[in-house]
A and B are shown apart, each in its own frame.
Chain A
Amino acid sequence: MAKTPEEHPVKAFGWAARDSSGVLSPFRFSRRENGDDDVTVKILYCGVCHSDLHAVKNEWGLTNYPIVPGHEIVGIVTKVGKQVQKFKVDDKVGVGVLVGSCKSCESCQQDLENYCPQMVFTYNSIDHDGTKTYGGYSDVIVIHQHFVLRFPDNLPSDAGAPLLCAGITVYSPMKYYGMTEPGKHLGVAGLGGLGHVAVKFGKAFGLKVTVISGSPSKEVEAINRLGADSFLVTSDPTKMKAAIGTMDFIIDTISAVHPLLPLLSLLKLNGRLVTVGLPDKPLELPIFPLVLGRRLIGGSDFGGIKETQEMLDFCAKNNITADIELIKIDEINTAMERLAKSDVRYRFVIDVGNSLSHP
């Protein structure tokens, strides 16, 4: 059991990857003392985000091992600091992708902590006290109250956990890029953790939704269970040709390198392609389709705290949760292998509360 270089007073236990094989195993570490502005959360559930997979294998070259991933956390408050007003013990709360930011830059002042140049990620970051952050594949987390989300009572904690990253990651650009006008036509490229939630949001916004996918086998579920209006298989040239110039917007959730030209061609005049997936290599961007149809390609990176809360409340009102497969912590390595093959409908969630026990 590795001793962490920083010794905090609160013992913690989780699973970490030690090297770029990405294999996770039990790991003892520690959390800071609950400060005046802090909230301590006993973790019940944590979603397995594709970013966790990229990170444990160091696919972006930014990983500082050992790494405890997990940024789709739902739990119960066990302690609050003196200055904490918004939360009390036993509240159900969520923690997403961020646990810190500078609070003074332009982005922070506009409630866009997710674009703060000094933001602190829930895992694999250096916190303001100089120590490393560890994520939600663990039993407890201590966070500044600003970064804690109130988790709606009527949302199931397990199926709601993925909203804290997958949910906000598609909700934020759908609002920012104007994809909320009823009657407009949205394409969702990629039907995984992000994609399936985008379909649900799209339908809740009153949009016509077409799923764009390389896997014909996903069609029946996309239409019957998720409520998509149609399904476009990218390897079918006739159908792709017929769909040219039919979509107002596309959310591109594909996390591998993929061609952009077929997607850009699906857009109408003034169409918007928003990419939220993070391939580890650059994409090729053809310029002619942008110029000829006044189209754009934009990026978006999860969302700020205020908007994340707004998204959770929207989900509570519209009964939107993720479709999940609940796993025990000791199944995480198998889950990661299946995730690499997109073999999950559509998010794994770790039942931390019931399966992660201190040795």
Chain B
Amino acid sequence: MDPKLTEVAQMFARFKAAYSRNDLDACVTLLSQLKVHLTKFPSLPPLFQQTPNAVEELKLARDIYEHAVVLSVKLEDQDAFERDFCQLKPYYMDACGIIPPSPEEYPILGLNLLRLLVQNRIAEFHTELELLPVKALEHPCIKHAVELEQSFMEGAYNRVLSARQAVPHETYVYFMDLLAKTVRDEIAGCSEKGYDSLSISDAKQMLMFSSDQELHQYITEEHPEWEIKNGCVFFQKAKESQPCKEIPSLQLINQTLSYARELERIV
């Protein structure tokens, strides 16, 4: 076996050990070293050179990135998650002809879908979904994300919240917690459009807060333009602040005049 590959494999073993010890700091340092080492393998994307050890190297690299993704969930670091997932993707998408599919593939894809849902990036969510083969949709992890999105779109927010109990994988919990916040933002947006005002108790119920205090805190943090007055929340201000569209008359007049002038010049 190639000495470089052995070295990386050993380092990866140490990483796994640290991971199982839950020594996250060690994990992060080891991981960044691993990534640097991986850049030295020409068989990995984007080059895909056919070296004798290509299959092993690809498998190892995929394994490393899978762990990196899971680690980032554990660290609750969304940016790192996105980074690592992007780097992992070519192993699923482009290298599928060379190495056998990974058992972790669908859970991680599902996780990514969930993340997009949490970040309310619905367009990208659907783009990712389109890239998946039909049979992947049957997988519980994917199915979970798809159902969540459907409920989310329908406005069946209670179903979204209740789905937290039925997560298919332990890493999903972190995102399900975040989803509640996304749902609340969605509701807040809708009520702003739908109502001129709401009584505090209704608003509390609508936004799923248990106490008035939480509601007040939420409003001051997220929607300072809302007004609380006479026991009601007023959304009026937000609507007014929208700029009304004005006809650019002066510009139009200028344009028309210049056309007229040009026309006169035409021979």
Q: Do A and B come from one complex?
A: no
Interface residues of chain A, those whose CB is within 8 Å of chain B, are: none
Interface residues of chain B, those whose CB is within 8 Å of chain A, are: none
